[in-house]
Chain A
Amino acid sequence: MDFLQTYGFLIVTMLQQGLLGLSLYFPLMAGQLSLASPGFYALGGYIAAIILTQPQFAGWRDALGNWVFPVTWLLAALASALLGLIVGVPALRLRGIYLALATIAFVQILQVLSLNLSITGGAIGLFGIPQAFGFGDRWQYIWIFLPTVIVVLLFAHKLQGSRVGRAFRAIREDELAADAMGIPPTRYKVMAFVIGAVLAGVVGAMSAPFLNTWNARQGTFDASIAFLAYTLIGGSRSMWGPLLGGALLASLPELLRGLADWRLVINGLVLVVASLYLPQGIVGALLRLRRKAPPKRPATGPAPLGDTP
């Protein structure tokens, strides 16, 4: 228990950031680099924070009891799906860096709105968010985040083998060819985008009680970049990559705590060195190592995880 008291918060944070890394993975399955996740994460968090703190929802809270928490997750999922569709349908006509920039703009606009609206608490934000299910300790959030991680991984695994997953992969490899084969790219790209948006929104709704306060700093450009770094450093071609990258990079500031002021400098250096020397991410590098090792099983090495049917 002492271990959980000390490291529980960190472990839950690693899972939470891993999930946010995964929210980029779904659009990437269809070849779309979207940096919109922090926007949906912020939206989900605000929905939960508003329902859990504002006086006009007191009736709901009394009526629902602990069910109010799953209800906030559901509402966050629905709102993210809706906003994801509204933004995704026009934005996904854009490719590559243009889509990335459009989604950065989306996040910025949401941030300016949340800084200025009264329902979001303006620049101060919302605070005093009650702990989910009356948890007494932060580590207990593991009972929410760990099952979510497992469900998302199972979902990703199932998706990869499904017809939809294969359509995603076809679009990622060559959109024009996929289109010519009768796969409607826009529909699948929007689908992949919305899955990522819903995941980010739900994680936001789960995180608002965990963090106890919610404000405009939750969904910023810095977060876009952090999530992108999780994905690229962990490995963008496998569902394990973003999870591993998120967990590792979220723990880095903690591991470097002794270095005080210098830890963000080191954090930056880690990003530079990793992007220079781990072009396929950590998971990609591990797979390459395994392939180079003397073959114990059939000589054809395992395909990258993301490509296994």
Chain B
Amino acid sequence: MTDLLQNLINGLAIGSVYAIFALGYTLVFSILGIINFAHGAVFTLGAYFTYTLVVGQFENNGLIKGLNLFPVGSPFHGSAWAFAAAALIGAVLSGLIAVVIERLAFRPMRSRGADPLLALVSSLGVALVIVNLIQILVGAESYSFPGDIYGDLKPAIILHVGGKLVVVRTVQVIIFAVSMLLLLVLGYVIGRTRVGKALRAVAENPGTASLLGISVSRFIVITFFLSGFLGGLAGTLVSTAFSVAGPYFGVAYGLKGLAVIVLGGLGSIPGAVVGGLVIGLFEAFVPAEYSAYKEAVAFALLFVILLLRPQGLLGRAQVQKV
């Protein structure tokens, strides 16, 4: 019983990050019908941006090692609020990078109506560039956030359930709360506001949307910004729970994110949330003695769901063109 509860907590925390990360993929897919493989790199960038703001210094290796960007005493040191501000700025910067990626790597292709597969290769090229630039600039090492980034918050909540301990780490609470808050806000924006209606119109049919006076290009920029923002924030959240595990940090998440969106239904926003939570929970329930196989869980689920229900859990069946 206590194990169940502990697994549930771990699964929900990591699953909620998968969800907000995967939302970035799914937003872009629903508007453009392409998979942006650079999303994993943007996730990594988000973690590095926040780390730069909070710690301000990279040791060991790389071109900018030892450069003290934000010396101790700068506004991002100390309290939980300062960290929140740094995370927010990191996410905004990630969003801007995603907009730049769209400009340089996707837009020239879109105007020519090129094969979506080429967008795949192009975005992979972008990922390669970003990941290796990070490596050149700050080296290949892992970095950990200082232990007190959440300020004076208590380190963990410990529940006594039936004589056993269930540990809820503060990081897990924060990750889960932030993710749920983001999902609610995003759900509101897309479901209820004018911007959201326009976005959905563009996703449904860009041609008709532009006839109705919606600037499709502008909404594509907004989509990429949101996507990068969510990806970058997910990167920061995950890196506070573990560490900024080097420039290749986002690659594994990038692939897992694909499993999440296909599981939930490509292009479906609630699907990304459900898919993220399902994969997070399944992973958390892998028994410790098989933990080496945990990395295969998402892909096994993906494979199974593709065979049983290719449109995903919440996706709409593809209408076949005749």
Residues of A near any B CB (own CB < 8 A): 33, 90-91, 93-95, 97-98, 101-102, 104-106, 108-109, 112-113, 115-116, 176, 221, 225, 228-229, 232-233, 261-262, 264-265, 267-276, 279
Do A279 and B118 have beta carbons less than 8 Å apart? yes
Do B118 and A232 have beta carbons less than 8 Å apart? yes
* Contact residues in A for B212 (Cβ distance below 8 Å): none
Q: Number of residues in B with C-beta < 8 Å to the partner?
A: 47
Q: Which 3 A-B pairs have the closest CB atoms?
A: A271-B125, A268-B128, A268-B129
* Contact residues in A for B246 (Cβ distance below 8 Å): none
Do B119 and A275 have beta carbons less than 8 Å apart? yes
* Contact residues in B for A98 (Cβ distance below 8 Å): 262, 266, 306, 310
Q: Which one, B163-171, B233-241, B290-298, is touching chain A? A: B290-298
Do A268 and B306 have beta carbons less than 8 Å apart? no
Do B117 and A112 have beta carbons less than 8 Å apart? no
* Contact residues in B for A233 (Cβ distance below 8 Å): 121
Residues of B near any A CB (own CB < 8 A): 35, 37, 104-105, 108-109, 112, 114-122, 124-130, 132-133, 135-136, 251, 255, 258-259, 262, 266, 292-293, 295-296, 299-300, 302-303, 306-307, 310, 318, 320, 322
A-B contact pairs, 27 of them (CB 8 A): A90-B307, A93-B310, A94-B306, A94-B310, A97-B116, A98-B310, A101-B258, A104-B258, A109-B303, A113-B296, A116-B292, A228-B117, A267-B128, A268-B125, A268-B127, A268-B130, A269-B125, A271-B121, A271-B124, A271-B125, A271-B128, A272-B105, A272-B125, A275-B109, A275-B118, A275-B122, A276-B105
Do A264 and B119 have beta carbons less than 8 Å apart? no
Cα–Cα, bound, A232→B117 (Å)? 8
Do A105 and B303 have beta carbons less than 8 Å apart? yes
In terms of DSSP, what is the predominant structure of the interface of chain A?
A: helix
* Contact residues in A for B266 (Cβ distance below 8 Å): 97-98
Do A102 and B306 have beta carbons less than 8 Å apart? yes
Cα–Cα, bound, A102→B318 (Å)? 17
* Contact residues in A for B128 (Cβ distance below 8 Å): 264-265, 267-268, 271
Cα–Cα, bound, A272→B320 (Å)? 31
* Contact residues in B for A112 (Cβ distance below 8 Å): 292-293, 295-296, 299
* Contact residues in B for A275 (Cβ distance below 8 Å): 109, 114, 118-119, 121-122, 125
* Contact residues in A for B122 (Cβ distance below 8 Å): 271-272, 275-276
* Contact residues in A for B121 (Cβ distance below 8 Å): 225, 228-229, 232-233, 271, 274-275
* Contact residues in B for A229 (Cβ distance below 8 Å): 121, 124
* Contact residues in A for B262 (Cβ distance below 8 Å): 98, 101
Do B125 and A91 have beta carbons less than 8 Å apart? no
Cα–Cα, bound, A265→B130 (Å)? 8
* Contact residues in B for A261 (Cβ distance below 8 Å): 132, 135-136
Cα–Cα, bound, A255→B116 (Å)? 29
Minimum C-beta distance from A94 to chain B (A): 6
